Amino acid sequence: MLDDSIKHPQQTSALPSPFFKRSDGIYLAKILKDNEEIEVWLCADISVVGDACDGSGKNWGRIIDFSDRSGASHRLFLTLADLTGAPNKVLGRLSDHGLRFNRCKAAREGILDLLNEWPTEQRFLVTNKPGWASAACDAFIMDASRIIGNPRVHFMGDTTDISTGSASCGNVDAWKAEVGLKCVGNPVLIASVSLAFCGPLLDMLCIDSFGLHLRGSSSCGKSTALNVAISVWGGPERMSSWRTTANALEPTAASMNSTLLALDELGQVSGKDAFDAAYTLGNGQGKRRANAAGRGTPPLRWRVPVLSSGEITLAEKIAESGQKTMTGQEVRIIDVAADAGKFGAFEEIHSAISPAQFAEHLKASAKNTYGLAGPIFVTKYLEKSEGWKSGLHDKVDRIAKLFLSELTEPADGPIQRVAANFALIATAGELASLWGITGWPKGAAIEAARQLFKAWVDRHLAVTNTAELVWLPKLEVFLGGAIGSGVFAADASAMQNEFGFWTDTFVFLNDLAWSKAFGPTHQTEAAKALAELGILGKDGKHFRAKIPRTLGNRERLYRLRMSLLGAEVRLQMTATESSTHHTTT
């Protein structure tokens, strides 16, 4: 059904001859063979609003308006291919939507003639994607009955169980009081809600999908943050789960286009599926598949911010399958420590007697009042001038530069990209506050994004520098004591050495040596870090590589690149070889 905003946006043209209208519907004036003129009732009142096609200028058809038997309004898109074919398909669709019509052959054919010949001047865009209907960003589709902006757009997508959560409940003042204002003083909540407001900005600024992963212990408030963010666009039905495959995630992401995709509980998915899903989400489009006729269908596409939760990082989940996250995945799904606050995900619980009560109040409020803030955000944007819209990029860039200027370390590529993403989150939150939607004080969204960005940078630098600052020094200390007394130059008895041996290009260490160097609890962590630095040479997924055939039975040992070790270690090896040679001679 249509809401009042899009029932009849334009006046329809007069009926073509020989059709005419009466109070009970539309008639056809038909002349029989004996020149007798009769009137044939065709159907209840119906009108052709305009012609339409998709964004590529294909799939032409006509937009039809009518009311069903209970008086509810309907709008359908009927393709010209169907309208020029047999009546059954078109009449079947009209019947499914409640149109009353005459079943006789003359009436059935007359209805198709009417719909084909009705003159129109209006042109519509048809799309099966919610969110922004086109690159012009002048019409925003919530669902088939709610289109914000340009009314000459028709949504013909499927309304899934999830997208039905785009319905609204309550009023925005109640949402502001019971949800928005409760976020004040809580960076994780403010950033999560601000991320939800980013949805419409992605297409405006041509920015790919990205998101936040809220990582923390059980019951720390992660799911509460997801519920609060979801309420910007709709009800709790919009909550999705990580427990899916990349293929199944495609229609879910597309149905949330330009709004927010919330994925709860990363722990429920396998490492491989998490890797595939993260790649798919960041790629912004699904696979190209064949239809029943064997022809390729256009892939699903989306630009959507993602809010995720779990007790471990995305990188740790993916590592369970033996894979490694790519840099692009790590900066698109940004890890946020959601349990580092005074009360887990919360710093301020306002008047609640406990963090648990605060969380329950937020969840209940988000279930009672929802689906209002996001559409108002879109409406406010559409009211702005083109000059203001074109300056949005500059606003985001200024905030990103502000965040980067406060760092004490040089910003590498990942840091710069994450700064840009947090700057967009801050911009969206500040706009929502400026437009009176959230109730937050000026600068609250910027400060929340700044805090989370700084925490992410600290962790990023710690992980990046761990190999050079922690594990490489430990390795070189061990080698300094083991060269010549457990690690020797390779020879026929190399495998009998206590710790390992070296060749012209590599140092090979056994499990005992690795445990001695890094301790029994940090062996895998050290191997990962040294492999990322390139010092440890992996063999496929294995941290240990097979030794040269000339030295034994191809056992697997830790293989270290000689050229990347410290100069002192290499000099010590050279001296040991020289000493051994002189002793032998």
Q: How many domains does one find in the chain?
A: 3
CA distance 264 to 137: 30
At what angle are helices 105-117 and 87-96 packed, to 10 degrees?
A: 90
Is there a single domain that holds both residue 186 and residue 98? no
Domain hosting residue 100, numbered range: 19-127
Compute the distance between CA of residue 26 and CA of residue 21 in angstroms, rounded to an integer.
4
In a domain, 82, yes or no: yes
Asked whether residue 305 is assigned to any structural domain, the reply reads yes
Highest mean pLDDT among 180-189, 389-398, 481-490: 180-189
- Shared-domain flag, residues 334 and 411: yes
CA 83, CA 51: separation in Å to the nearest integer?
12
Is 161 part of any domain? no
Mean pLDDT is lowest, of 59-68, 149-158, 501-510, for 149-158
Torsion of CA 271, 273, 275, 277, to 10 degrees: -150
Do 103 and 183 reside in the same domain of the chain? no
- At 384, the amino acid letter reads K
* CATH code, 428: 3.40.50
Last residue of a domain, one of 411, 442, 473: 442
- Tens of pLDDT, residue by residue over 102-132, are 999 989 999 999 999 999 989 999 998 899 9
Tell whether the model's pLDDT for residue 296 goes beyond 70. no
Cβ(400)–Cβ(427) under 8 Å? no
Q: How far apart are CA 166 and CA 236, in angstroms?
A: 9
Does one domain contain both 248 and 317?
yes
Containing 399, the helix (H) or strand (E) segment is helix 392-405
Are 318 and 424 contained in the same domain? yes
Classified as helix, coil or strand, 328 is helix
Q: Residue 5 pLDDT more than 60?
A: no
236-284 confidence digits (pLDDT tens): 999 998 988 888 889 999 999 999 999 998 888 888 888 888 888 888 8
Token representation of residue 219: 């019951």
Judge if 473 and 535 occupy the same domain: yes
227 and 358: one domain? yes
- Rounded Cα distance, 65 and 415, in Å: 52
Does 470 lie in the same domain as 351? no
Considering the domain architecture, whether residues 79 and 187 belong to the same structural domain is answered as no
User: Does some domain include residue 309?
Assistant: yes
The reply to whether 449 falls in a domain is no
Statement to judge: residues 467 and 438 lie in one domain: no
pLDDT score of 433 = 97
Task: Burial-class residue 539 by CB neighbours within 10 Å (0-12, 13-18, 19+).
Answer: exposed
The dihedral sign for the CA sequence 157, 160, 162, 164? positive
Of the three residues 127, 153, 184, the one that is the final residue of a domain is: 127
Q: For residues 190 and 333, what is the distance between their CA atoms, to the nearest angstrom?
A: 17
- pTM of structure: 0.77
- Residues 483, 361 within the same domain: no
Does 575 have pLDDT greater than 80? yes
pLDDT, residue 565, reads 85
Residues 438 and 527 in one domain: no
Of 416, 390, 389, nearest to 403 by C-alpha is 416
Give the pLDDT confidence score for residue 420 in this predicted structure.
96
* Residue of 171, 139, 160 whose CA lies nearest to 255: 160
Q: What is the pLDDT of residue 281?
A: 87
For residue 59, give the DSSP letter: S
